[in-house]
Structure 1
Amino acid sequence: MAIGPRLDLRHSQSLVMTPQLRQAIKLLQSSNLEVSAFVEEELERNPLLERDERPELPPERPDPRAEPPAGAAPADSFDSTASATMPSEAEAPLDIRDWSNVYDGDGPSLGEGGGRGGRLDFEGDERGIEDLAIARPRSLREELAEQVRLSFADPGDRLIAAQLIALLDPSGRLAAEDAAIAQALGCDTARIAAIRARLQRFDPAGLFCRSLAECLAVQLAERNRLDPAMQALLDNLELLARRDMRGLLKVCGVDAEDLAEMVAELKRLDPKPGADYDAAPAPALLPDVLMRRAPGVQLAGETVDWILELNPDTLPRVLVNRGFHARAQVSASREDKAFLSEKFQAANWLVKSLEQRASTILKVAAEIVRRQDGFFRHGVAHLRPLILRDVAEAVEMHESTVSRVTANKYIATPRGLFELKYFFTTAIGGTTGGETFSAEAIRHRIRSMVSAETAEDILSDDAIVAALRREGVDIARRTVAKYRESLRIPSSVQRKREKAVPA
């Protein structure tokens, strides 16, 4: 057998992930905020891309039952007669000097004022209050520093108070001990304790405490509600956490009605008084798909109950500047032509990827709405079991594509704002063997049963299983316990203790 180099020809098939394909997959699974950020980067990087800033006119909604007139153009076609009112390039050269009689469709004319919509004397300001800058809310430390300047006259006390403010955690607690702070600052422990006691009465009350009981005690003292019974309740918060109402009645020495009032008083207090100041506001969720009811509308011979459309506020609108590309190609060098060709292909691919992403989201959302029609009509109890394979087979896509489409995408429905992933739930078999039930609907049913129980009739997990089996649901006891824990519903023993004393 000869050993040496040789040349062979072989045929093989392989899947190559091009950069454009990776970009399309990334856009498909990204949220609307991530897509907007990516498009902004591409607008800065690619000179052939430009933002579509044309005003989006509200489309007229003709009656779907009416037949279009003969010879009418399609709804999405461009009306060529509209260009008759626009001046041509020969009639309106770019070097116009007199702008006083030129109308700008986006705002008022550029006339005597010297600027768009303004005047040189600043007397015609028509801005509303929403156009003014909103002042940044002050942080917790800024609020406390101002109160320190008004409450402490001694510079040494101010220095100690500033150090205590710096040691606060985000919830308003102080983890460091007085002795450690005194050793670090070189002062007496009693002085630290006295200053900390004064700081605890600052607004909001309950700061600079080391435990939950101390924080609640300071707030109750501010309300003049810290009596011996309430102090006994604060010293035994572990009994309240276990909902051992009988033990609390014995420790506090009060009756059931007084204990209920004391527990209600504790619920009105703030366990973390500093958390509301520096917490960042929750980002607003913008839906990708808008859904509204359209009863009785006939379209293509079928009755349409729901109308879906993409949210125009979340759709980045970009165009390819083909005119600039054609003009730049005339006098460009070989390197410039290669650069322009690369950017032109990237711009075209981005526009196509955005269009494909929008159509795919709408197609998948329409199939989800069609399968979960009972949920939108009657509520969560009628949510049907649904998996990715069911939608993928209906829209003729792969399961991974449907998974990417439903990730981080939201739909605004008459029942609220939901993530598309919410409608995919596992199936629970029925006792008859034919009908299946959604796991989310079973959770809703368990929550309803627990909410309707009385102090004399507390449902155990076995009782819930028996009730669900009578309704045709074949479910195990451990599944009920798992669903109950996911809903943060305590056990039957804890619920019995809690409802033994009305709160």
Structure 2
Amino acid sequence: MALGPRLDLRQSQSLVMTPQLQQAIKLLALSNLEIETFVGEALEANPLLEAGEVRAEDREASPESDQPDIHDATPDMDGGGNGDEALDIDPGALDVDRDTGDWSAEHSGAGGVGEAPDLENRSSDDLSLADHLETQVGPASPDAVTEFIARHIIGLLDEAGYLSTPLSDIAANLAVPQASVEEALHVVQSLDPTGVGARSLSECLALQAKEADRYDPCMEVLIDNLELVAKGAVAHLKRICSVDDEDFAEMLSELRGYDPKPGLKFGGSPSTSVVPDVLLKGVTDAEGNEGWDIQLNEETLPRLVVNRSYYVELRAGATNKEAKGWLSEKLADANWLIKALDQRQKTILKVAAEIVKQQHGFFKRGVSELRPLTLRTVAEAIEMHESTVSRVTSNKFLHCERGTFELKYFFTSGVGGGTDGEGASAEAVKARIKALCDAEDPKKILSDDKLVELLKGEGFDLARRTVAKYREAIGIGSSVQRRRAKKLAGMG
């Protein structure tokens, strides 16, 4: 075979994505906070963009020569589609996990059970534990040095109020005697709430017992043997504490009244409120038919318009080709961003509406009616690609009468081959296991085999290991652990 240079003509197809299309796709996965940041940066970078509603003078018709056609300057993001349509993306558009097929950057499930993770909004103005302690430490300190060390210790406390840094390290870092650090720690431990500054659970409970004037030798022994309390070793504890049944029950009740994490009463770092993207409420029409009203939360919708008056003013002053080119580029960018945000909102609404349709039973009757649902099911129903649905449901929240839920929560695997033949949602099974364990007779604790039998009678055909896995996932102990816990609860 001869070797030498030659020319070949080949024909091939490839997916070419413009930077604007790539950015439009990425906008789908952004959270409310990220969108707000993105819009803020765009407002700073583009003088033709402004926030707010369209002004009255901009709505008035202007001469065609002075009023540009905004849509004509807008790049086509969906391959020739209508700008009013929701944005869909084609396979291969961006990075994909080839092992899982998940296109989103992070696929977060919804842990928990019952009515699922109801995300209550928390105020970012809540007083932090450190702020609360700082207001008390001055008057409680005998001198300035002790106050300084105490403030340093306050800064080392975790959100529960515990001190994990050794006193020797604090003394070395501040170049002070360890005795001074111990004195400062005593000051911190005297502050409200009682128990802060403790270095262990036992010390935290001991501080609260001392505050309540209940730290006698018997209570001291009980607090020093918390591992036996956890195991439910009642006979052993009564013996080493030298108390009878009545005294032990009283001590146990007192111990339960203490707070093991006193610092959690206060806010830690300022928390971000969860603002839902979609609002859902039940409605009834004039004929008595029940349905759903699904709306986008207008508080999360960026309001951007093109300042046409300013565009006309700038265009009149553009005297050279370079200035006119820059102005045209800014106009195109502004129109693209407005269109991209509009398509993002339409896509979110379209996906959310299908989720509500698929999970109608959940919104009507609760988690027991949560159906198995996959991204592909929703994608096929709304004729979009799976990757689009994955991006839309990332970091997006829906608010309904049952609470606020991440859209990812409604996608659960099917297990158990339920009576309807399609299986049951894993969350529904967990909810049923929790209900059975909560209602069990303390004298007849349900074993995993018994739970399997009861669930099978309700149409959940599960293996014993599956029941055990779900039980542990929702924080329910084994039958032995529950028997001990309920025995102790009965004594309290």
**TM-score for the superposition, normalised by structure 1:** 0.76
Secondary structure (helix, strand or coil) at the match of 1:412 reads strand
Which residue is 1:372 aligned to? 359
Task: Give the superposition deviation at 1:296.
Answer: 3.0
Task: Give the superposition deviation at 1:290.
Answer: 1.0
Which residue is 1:305 aligned to? 291
Which residue is 1:270 aligned to? 259
Structure 1: give runs of 5+ residues left out of the alignment: 56-81, 90-133
Q: Distance in 2 between matches of 1:173 and 1:284?
A: 26
Which residue is 2:371 aligned to? 384
Which residue is 2:409 aligned to? 422
Please list the CA deviations of residues 141-194 of structure 1 after superposition, one character each: whole Å capped at 9, or x if unmatched. 566566454344555555655565565555443445556666777776666545
Task: Give the superposition deviation at 1:477.
Answer: 0.9
| Residues 447 and 479, structure 2, Cα contact 8 Å, conserved in 1 | yes
Q: Distance in 2 between matches of 1:448 and 1:155?
A: 56
Please list the CA deviations of residues 328-368 of structure 1 after superposition, one character each: whole Å capped at 9, or x if unmatched. 33442211122122222211111111111111111111111
- 1:225 maps to which of 210, 214, 219: 214
Secondary structure (helix, strand or coil) at the match of 1:367 reads helix
The answer to whether 1:45 aligns with 2:34 is: no
| Residues 134 and 151, structure 2, Cα contact 8 Å, conserved in 1 | yes
Secondary structure (helix, strand or coil) at the match of 1:307 reads strand
Which residue is 2:117 aligned to? none
Q: Distance in 1 between matches of 2:336 and 2:411?
A: 32
Please list the CA deviations of residues 358-415 of structure 1 after superposition, one character each: whole Å capped at 9, or x if unmatched. 1111111111111111111111111111111111111000111111111111111122
Moved more, 135-144 or 13-22: 135-144
The answer to whether 1:466 aligns with 2:453 is: yes
Moved more, 238-247 or 393-402: 238-247
Change (3 A) 1:391 1:21: same
| Residues 385 and 439, structure 1, Cα contact 8 Å, conserved in 2 | yes
Please list the CA deviations of residues 262-315 of structure 1 after superposition, one character each: whole Å capped at 9, or x if unmatched. 3443343233444555602432111111111111357xxx95611111111110
Greater relative contact order, per chain length (Cα 8 Å cut-off, separation 6+) = 2
Moved more, 219-228 or 302-311: 302-311
| Residues 128 and 269, structure 2, Cα contact 8 Å, conserved in 1 | no
Change (3 A) 1:201 1:411: same
Structure 2: give runs of 5+ residues left out of the alignment: 63-122
Change (3 A) 1:321 1:445: same
Task: Give the superposition deviation at 1:196.
Answer: 3.8
Moved more, 256-265 or 470-479: 256-265
Which residue is 1:197 aligned to? 186
Q: Which amino acid aligns with 1:5?
A: P
Moved more, 40-49 or 4-13: 4-13
Q: Distance in 1 between matches of 2:2 and 2:253?
A: 93
Secondary structure (helix, strand or coil) at the match of 2:9 reads coil
| Residues 27 and 35, structure 1, Cα contact 8 Å, conserved in 2 | yes
Secondary structure (helix, strand or coil) at the match of 2:269 reads coil
Q: Which amino acid aligns with 2:291?
A: D
Q: Which amino acid aligns with 2:436?
A: M
Secondary structure (helix, strand or coil) at the match of 2:373 reads coil
Q: Which amino acid aligns with 1:342?
A: E
Q: Which amino acid aligns with 2:342?
A: E
Which residue is 1:455 aligned to? 442
- 2:231 maps to which of 242, 245, 254: 242
Q: Which amino acid aligns with 1:206?
A: G
- 1:351 maps to which of 338, 341, 364: 338
- 1:296 maps to which of 285, 300, 313: 285
Moved more, 460-469 or 256-265: 256-265
Secondary structure (helix, strand or coil) at the match of 1:5 reads coil
Secondary structure (helix, strand or coil) at the match of 1:308 reads strand
Which residue is 2:25 aligned to? 25
Q: Distance in 1 between matches of 2:276 and 2:459?
A: 36
Greater C-alpha radius of gyration: 1
Q: Distance in 1 between matches of 2:222 and 2:416?
A: 47
| Residues 297 and 305, structure 1, Cα contact 8 Å, conserved in 2 | no
Q: Distance in 2 between matches of 1:320 and 1:407?
A: 29
| Residues 205 and 273, structure 1, Cα contact 8 Å, conserved in 2 | yes
| Residues 429 and 475, structure 1, Cα contact 8 Å, conserved in 2 | yes
Secondary structure (helix, strand or coil) at the match of 2:281 reads strand
Query: CA-atom RMSD, angstroms?
Result: 3.3
- 1:216 maps to which of 201, 205, 209: 205
Change (3 A) 1:233 1:311: same
Please list the CA deviations of residues 89-141 of structure 1 after superposition, one character each: whole Å capped at 9, or x if unmatched. 9xxxxxxxxxxxxxxxxxxxxxxxxxxxxxxxxxxxxxxxxxxxx99887655
Q: Distance in 2 between matches of 1:294 and 1:136?
A: 35
| Residues 154 and 188, structure 2, Cα contact 8 Å, conserved in 1 | no
| Residues 415 and 425, structure 2, Cα contact 8 Å, conserved in 1 | yes
Q: Which amino acid aligns with 1:320?
A: V
Q: Which amino acid aligns with 2:292?
A: W
Please list the CA deviations of residues 187-221 of structure 1 after superposition, one character each: whole Å capped at 9, or x if unmatched. 76666545543542233332333222112111211
Q: Distance in 2 between matches of 1:281 and 1:135?
A: 5
Secondary structure (helix, strand or coil) at the match of 1:417 reads strand
Change (3 A) 1:48 1:378: same
| Residues 297 and 304, structure 1, Cα contact 8 Å, conserved in 2 | no
The answer to whether 1:400 aligns with 2:393 is: no
The answer to whether 1:438 aligns with 2:425 is: yes
Moved more, 135-144 or 17-26: 135-144
Q: Which amino acid aligns with 1:459?
A: L
The answer to whether 1:314 aligns with 2:300 is: yes
Q: Which amino acid aligns with 1:235?
A: D
Task: Give the superposition deviation at 1:11.
Answer: 1.4
| Residues 206 and 215, structure 1, Cα contact 8 Å, conserved in 2 | yes
| Residues 406 and 420, structure 1, Cα contact 8 Å, conserved in 2 | yes
Change (3 A) 1:255 1:347: farther
Which residue is 2:99 aligned to? none
Change (3 A) 1:219 1:47: same
Which residue is 1:287 aligned to? 276
Q: Distance in 1 between matches of 2:394 and 2:170?
A: 49
| Residues 146 and 183, structure 2, Cα contact 8 Å, conserved in 1 | no
